[in-house]
């Protein structure tokens, strides 16, 4: 039997710091119920100028790194 105990490429999107922090905390809590952990070293936060109340989101009581750009599966021509 094969069991995969990880999830990859989850994106949480919100328009305010407070609900984004809440969503990250709920995700962390729910994942832990089935034995999954969020790796704060691999999680990133990207903000826009519209999200100007705060930028530090925490997972595992650690501030997540801010990302200035995002690249996903580019095709070479």
List the chain domain ranges: 17-66
The pLDDT of residue 17: 86
Spatial neighbors of 24 by CB under 8 A, at least 6 apart, are 12, 38, 57, 58, 59, 64
For 32-51, how does the pLDDT look when each residue is reduced to its tens digit (9 = 90+)? 998 888 888 988 888 777 66
The structure's pTM equals 0.72
**11-15, 51-55, 69-73 — which one is most confidently predicted on average?**
11-15
């Amino acid at each position: 039997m094969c069991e995969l105990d990880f999830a990859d490429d989850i994106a949480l999107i919100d328009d305010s710091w407070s609900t984004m922090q809440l969503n990250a905390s709920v995700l962390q809590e729910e994942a832990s119920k089935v034995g999954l952990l969020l790796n704060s070293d691999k999680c990133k936060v990207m903000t826009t100028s519209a999200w100007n109340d705060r930028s530090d989101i925490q997972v595992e009581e650690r501030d997540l790194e801010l990302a200035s750009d995002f690249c996903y599966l580019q095709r070479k021509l």
